[in-house]
Structure 1
Amino acid sequence: MNNGLKYDGIILDIDGTIWNTTGIVAVAWNRAIDISGFPARKVNAQDLQREFGKTMDVIASNLWPNLSKAEQEILLSNCCSEEHIALKENTLDITYPGVVETIKELSTVTNFFVVSNCQDGYIQLMLKKTGLESFVKDFECFGRTGKGKAENIMMVVQRNQLSSPLYVGDIQGDADACRQAGVPFAWASYGFGEVKEYAAKLNVFSDLKEVVGF
């Protein structure tokens, strides 16, 4: 299903592309740090904006290099649990302007997918909180496969028999993964990072309509 559009599927990143959870998540992670008793430094939204998009093990290593790998895993698991509770209870709209409306509008002519380096359960929670469950056909993440973003992108492409997909993300790591996967990359410039090369640039999410030829 693409109805003459340039791409037969749109694969989305989450953090810095669909929504910005960093303020809420920082509070939740600091709660987990307090409970843990580990000598781990607290985090803030800016820390998380620099780290989000990396795989979970890399985030833990970057934030708490003084902890052992086992301690990092325990702490990160506790952080993710507190994060899930906080996001589930959140009543604020933390999506970027036009995201939900644009996805719903474009879903009438193309299919949407999500690939993220997040923990398992995060994509499902995002879809439920945004009301996008019925508008995303398939998704994959590091937490389910243990694989990096490039491999997970290729997995979704193959699983859904996409011939001309587009990936939308906001950081250089997303662009690098797309290059490895052989998938064009659209940069969500309103997100967390700077990107050197891209096939298209979104100043706001609704720019996606013009990019795909809607």
Structure 2
Amino acid sequence: MSTDLKDKYDSIIFDLDGTLWDSTVNVAKAWQRAKEELPFVKDDVTPEIVSSIAGMAYDAIFEKLAPYLSEEKRNEFKALSARYELNILNTEGGELYPGLVPTLRYLKTKYKLFVVSNCQCGYIETFLNLNDLNETFMGHQCYGTKSQPKFQNIIDVVHDFELTKPVYVGDTQGDYDSATKAGVPMIFAAYGFGEVNGKPIATINQLSDLKTIM
């Protein structure tokens, strides 16, 4: 990790899960609670399963979890899971990656910061509120807002905030593909949930590495 990206960008757009925090244990707990209340859902939900589908759009996640269900029953499972997810996260939160707060405070002095995630509405707000980070980020966008793909949400943030040299930080192939499609270079967070086949402009092994390279 010797890349020097100082003074090359005006803004940083972050993925959330696997990049800023790990909420898989509590998300799995929420979805499992929903599963146990709905007799038509067959399979248990574990943290390992949640981490394996992290980064997918919220609708696609539940198609993956329960492909055998009708759309009506799948939507019922998704809605109950989403409600329990926010309830649990609002009280128990997720695990912040080491150095998150000081790293973000440092970066905020030099860059405009944003979050773009494939999560449901309210999820990013929960992360920000729990960790007193509302003033750290200038804006955010998620799948739940417009049900549009991540690359389009990245484009919208770039356009809405008139960013000229943004960079994206993410941890999965989906992040890399979305950033590339949006025309934004990506820094790969190798400590997260996934792997990347491609050419990210840099790889970080811990979040605080950004203080060195940016």
Moved over 6 A (4+): none
1:48 to 47, 50, 53: 50
- 1:48 maps to a residue whose letter is V
Counterpart CA distance in 1 for 2:137 and 2:24 is 23
Equivalences for residues 175-194 of structure 1 within 5 A: 175-194=176-195
Counterpart CA distance in 2 for 1:106 and 1:39 is 43
Cα-to-partner distance string for 1:140-189 (whole Å, 9 max, x where unaligned) = 11100110000000000000111110100000000000110000000110
Cα-to-partner distance string for 1:12-52 (whole Å, 9 max, x where unaligned) = 00000010010111111111111123233111111111111
- 1:119 maps to a residue whose letter is Q
- 1:140 maps to a residue whose letter is Q
Aligned to 1:111: 112
Counterpart CA distance in 2 for 1:15 and 1:176 is 16
Aligned to 1:169: 170
Equivalences for residues 3-22 of structure 1 within 5 A: 5-22=7-24
Preserved contact between residue 29 and residue 43 of structure 1 (Cα < 8 Å)? yes
- 2:100 maps to a residue whose letter is V
Counterpart CA distance in 2 for 1:7 and 1:58 is 32
TM-score (norm 2): 0.94
Counterpart CA distance in 1 for 2:135 and 2:38 is 37
Preserved contact between residue 40 and residue 67 of structure 1 (Cα < 8 Å)? no
Preserved contact between residue 113 and residue 138 of structure 1 (Cα < 8 Å)? yes
Preserved contact between residue 8 and residue 110 of structure 1 (Cα < 8 Å)? yes
Equivalences for residues 132-143 of structure 1 within 5 A: 132-143=133-144
Counterpart CA distance in 2 for 1:209 and 1:69 is 45
Give 5+ residue unaligned stretches, structure 2: 1-5
Counterpart CA distance in 1 for 2:117 and 2:136 is 17
Counterpart CA distance in 1 for 2:40 and 2:134 is 37
Aligned to 2:72: 70
- 2:107 maps to a residue whose letter is L
Aligned to 2:27: 25
Aligned to 1:159: 160
TM-score (norm 1): 0.94
Q: How far is the alpha carbon of 1:57 from its aligned partner?
A: 1.1
Preserved contact between residue 104 and residue 135 of structure 1 (Cα < 8 Å)? yes
Is 1:58 the counterpart of 2:36 in the alignment?
no
- Coordinate RMSD, CA, aligned: 1.2
Aligned to 2:89: 87
Counterpart CA distance in 1 for 2:87 and 2:49 is 20
Give 5+ residue unaligned stretches, structure 1: none
Counterpart CA distance in 2 for 1:192 and 1:203 is 12
Is 1:209 the counterpart of 2:214 in the alignment?
no
Q: How far is the alpha carbon of 1:6 from its aligned partner?
A: 1.6
Counterpart CA distance in 2 for 1:118 and 1:40 is 23
Counterpart CA distance in 1 for 2:120 and 2:182 is 21
Instruction: Tell me the number of residue pairs that the alignment of Structure 1 and Structure 2 aligns.
Output: 208
